[in-house]
């Protein structure tokens, strides 16, 4: 069963540039660096087979296969492969076997010197193969390959599959967390997935390549952002497909269980399920740590009381009968009882937007913008209303102080800085005395820094520190500014 997110929409004004950059890098690497891999790999095997190494080491390889380490490493490899023509690959690329041969020759210095010269030439051939040079070798871990392996792929189908999931999850995670956190998630997930795979499942003869560990980290971060909230997913099982709303953590559990089952049962494939598992867990943990800096603590919407739900269904029935005035009164009554009733507010907006010049429409717009920030699932609706209403039916002067601040914070945590900027400037000039302004300015500066706009972020935080130094957020701005690199003299 395939489950992919459809909760976060593509923002054309703030495109997922990092996701696009990663796609381009992967494509360039595959069609340039890896273009001649098959040819270089065959040249490596030809050199090994035609040199004295292959003949000299055949008996040693049979003996090596009986060692405890080799018995563990080759437990899933058939004897046809280890004793037939394919053994050339294992003999040439198995790092433990290369060391085993060197140890066997240690007492014969002359023979060792000759072997080392030939083995050095073999290494030159092997390093011309990109998957060997830049893939993770479990017996020779380096920090550069822990990152570079995530930009290599085994074939075109491996590449297309990974890029598909990179786009599906990358767009969402970049929008939710911002570019800086997105890049951090991707790199750390790539490193940890490579490390765990090497420690638990790695073999000395098959380097690990592929972006799936890093992408699994994005999957984990996506569900960590929403937690127990129900998120919209597209599900596909054999011939059945549909959209579902499921608790995010339930989906994470499904993904983890699926990968764990494959890890236990699919012994013969070359798929690195352990990299998927560890990447997903890493992404989820990092997402939990990061989301507090991009989003206030979220709580699920309160469960409506039975009488409130009756009132809501009565309103829907009145709407069906086109009795909008009476339906509107029902919805207003319900929202007085429970201001966080999201469906009621959405229905009220749909009624009032039929008369966008009316005072009721302006009041409802302010009510939509004032929807509690702790309910992040309302962001998509609130931001779509702002895009639809602002500068068409509603002017900035029609927005009250609290609705303006709430709307700005929603825009900032969704990295819609271009849309938020004129609203923040309005808040600075018209609501300078508001107790909520310092928090808004602090979040504005932090959002600018997340987007890499350090100069403007510094200027905004300086403004906050100078004019609101006595407030909690003014003091926080002063501390934040100390972390900036010093200006060049």
Answer whether 173's CB lies under 8 Å from 184's CB. no
Is residue 213 predicted with pLDDT exceeding 90?
A: yes
**pLDDT at site 374:** 81
Chain center to CA of 262: 22
Quote the CA–CA distance of 430 and 424 in Å, as a whole number: 10
Answer whether 233's CB lies under 8 Å from 3's CB. yes
Which residues on adjacent β-strands are paired with residue 245? 232
- pLDDT-derived band of residue 299, with 50, 70 and 90 as boundaries? very low
Handedness of CA 322, 323, 325, 327 (dihedral sign): negative
Mean pLDDT of 9-27: 86
Edge-to-edge strands, sheet with 2-5:
2-5, 230-237, 240-247
Vertex 130: Cα angle to 23 and 94 (nearest 5)? 130
Vertex 203: Cα angle to 185 and 197 (nearest 5)? 20
Which residues on adjacent β-strands are paired with residue 247? 230
Quote the CA–CA distance of 101 and 108 in Å, as a whole number: 12
Classify residue 479 as exposed, middle or buried by CB count within 10 Å of its CB (0-12, 13-18, 19+). Answer: exposed
Which residue from 446, 475, 479, 476 is spatially nearest to 460, judged by alpha carbons? 446
pLDDT digits (tens, 9 = 90+) for 347-391: 888 888 888 888 888 898 888 888 888 888 888 888 888 888 876
Answer whether 187's CB lies under 8 Å from 233's CB. no
Quote the CA–CA distance of 154 and 261 in Å, as a whole number: 23
What is the phi-psi region of residue 227: left when phi exceeds 0, alpha when psi lies from -120 to 50, beta otherwise? left
pLDDT digits (tens, 9 = 90+) for 74-124: 988 888 999 999 999 999 999 999 999 999 999 899 999 999 999 999 999
Query: What predicted TM-score, i.e. pTM, was given to this entire model?
Result: 0.60
User: What are the b/e assignments for 249-276, b being 16+ CB within 10 Å?
Assistant: bebbeebbeebeebbeeeeeeeebbbbb
Which regions of the chain carry the CATH code 1.25.40.10? 306-482
What is the phi-psi region of residue 53: left when phi exceeds 0, alpha when psi lies from -120 to 50, beta otherwise? alpha
Contacts of 77 (CB under 8 A, 6+ apart): 90
**pLDDT at site 238:** 61
C-alpha to C-alpha distances, 458 to 224, 254, 480, nearest whole angstrom: 30, 43, 9
Instruction: Say how many C-beta atoms besides its own lie within 10 A of residue 9's C-beta.
Output: 12
Quote the CA–CA distance of 484 and 489 in Å, as a whole number: 15
Contacts of 192 (CB under 8 A, 6+ apart): 213, 217, 278, 279, 282
**pLDDT at site 303:** 46
**pLDDT at site 301:** 44
Quote the CA–CA distance of 314 and 292 in Å, as a whole number: 39
Vertex 37: Cα angle to 32 and 43 (nearest 5)? 140
Which H helix or E strand runs over 2? strand 2-5
**pLDDT at site 298:** 40
What is the phi-psi region of residue 301: left when phi exceeds 0, alpha when psi lies from -120 to 50, beta otherwise? beta
pLDDT digits (tens, 9 = 90+) for 416-467: 888 888 888 888 888 788 888 888 888 888 888 887 788 888 888 888 888 8
Q: Give the N- to C-terminal CA distance of the chain in Å, as an integer.
A: 59
Which H helix or E strand runs over 114? helix 109-127
Quote the CA–CA distance of 334 and 351 in Å, as a whole number: 15
Q: Which CATH number fits domain 306-482: 3.40.50.10490, 1.25.40.10, 3.90.1150.10, 3.30.2420.10?
A: 1.25.40.10
Question: For all residues of the chain together, what is the average pLDDT?
Answer: 85
Contacts of 411 (CB under 8 A, 6+ apart): 383, 386, 417, 419, 420, 423
Which of 48-62, 84-98, 266-280 has the least mean pLDDT? 266-280
**pLDDT at site 297:** 39
Which residues on adjacent β-strands are paired with residue 4? 234
Quote the CA–CA distance of 223 and 230 in Å, as a whole number: 10
Answer whether 235's CB lies under 8 Å from 187's CB. no
DSSP state of 397: G
Which residue from 312, 371, 363 is spatially nearest to 340, judged by alpha carbons? 371
**pLDDT at site 388:** 83
Mean pLDDT of 64-74: 93
Contacts of 113 (CB under 8 A, 6+ apart): none
- pLDDT-derived band of residue 304, with 50, 70 and 90 as boundaries? very low
């Amino acid at each position: 069963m395939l489950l992919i997110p459809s909760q976060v929409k593509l923002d054309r004004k703030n495109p997922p540039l990092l996701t696009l950059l990663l796609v381009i890098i992967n494509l360039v690497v595959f069609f340039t660096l890896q273009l001649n891999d098959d040819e270089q790999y065959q040249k490596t095997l030809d050199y090994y087979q035609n040199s004295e190494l292959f003949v000299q080491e055949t008996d040693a390889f049979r003996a090596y296969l009986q060692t405890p380490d080799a018995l563990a490493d080759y437990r899933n490899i058939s004897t046809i492969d280890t004793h037939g023509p394919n053994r050339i690959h294992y003999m040439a690329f198995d790092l433990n076997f290369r060391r085993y041969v060197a140890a066997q020759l240690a007492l014969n210095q002359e023979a060792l010197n000759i072997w080392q010269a030939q083995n050095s030439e073999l290494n030159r051939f092997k390093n011309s193969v990109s998957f060997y040079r830049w893939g993770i070798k479990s017996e020779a871990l380096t920090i550069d390959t822990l990152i570079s392996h995530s930009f290599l792929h085994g074939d075109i189908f491996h590449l297309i599959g990974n890029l598909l999931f990179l786009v599906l999850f990358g767009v969402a995670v970049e929008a939710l967390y911002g570019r800086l956190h997105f890049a951090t998630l991707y790199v750390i997930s790539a490193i940890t997935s490579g490390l765990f795979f090497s420690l638990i499942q790695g073999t000395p003869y098959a380097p690990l390549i592929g972006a799936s560990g890093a992408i699994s980290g994005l999957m984990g971060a996506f569900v960590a952002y929403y937690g127990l909230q129900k998120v919209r997913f597209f599900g596909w099982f054999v011939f059945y497909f549909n959209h579902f709303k499921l608790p995010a953590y339930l989906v994470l559990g499904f993904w983890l269980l699926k990968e764990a089952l494959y890890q236990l049962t699919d012994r013969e494939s070359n798929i690195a399920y352990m990299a998927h598992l560890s990447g997903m867990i890493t992404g989820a943990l990092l997402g939990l740590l990061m989301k507090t800096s991009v989003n206030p603590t979220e709580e699920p919407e309160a469960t409506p009381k039975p009488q409130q739900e009756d009132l809501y269904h009565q309103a829907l029935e009145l709407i069906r009968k086109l009795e909008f005035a009476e339906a509107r009164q029902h919805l207003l009554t319900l929202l007085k009882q429970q201001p966080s009733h999201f469906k009621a507010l959405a229905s009220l907006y749909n009624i009032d937007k039929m008369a966008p010049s009316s005072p009721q429409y302006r009041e409802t717009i302010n009510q939509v913008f004032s929807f509690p920030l702790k309910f992040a699932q309302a962001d998509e609706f609130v931001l779509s209303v702002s895009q639809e209403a602002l500068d068409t039916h509603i002017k900035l002067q029609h927005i009250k102080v609290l609705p303006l601040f709430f709307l700005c914070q929603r825009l900032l945590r969704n990295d819609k800085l271009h849309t938020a900027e004129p609203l923040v400037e309005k808040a600075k000039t018209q609501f300078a005395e508001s107790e909520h302004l310092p928090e808004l300015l602090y979040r504005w500066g932090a959002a600018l820094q997340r987007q890499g706009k350090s100069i403007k972020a510094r200027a905004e935080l300086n403004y906050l520190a100078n004019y609101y130094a006595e407030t909690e957020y003014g003091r926080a701005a002063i501390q934040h500014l100390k972390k900036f690199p010093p200006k060049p003299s």
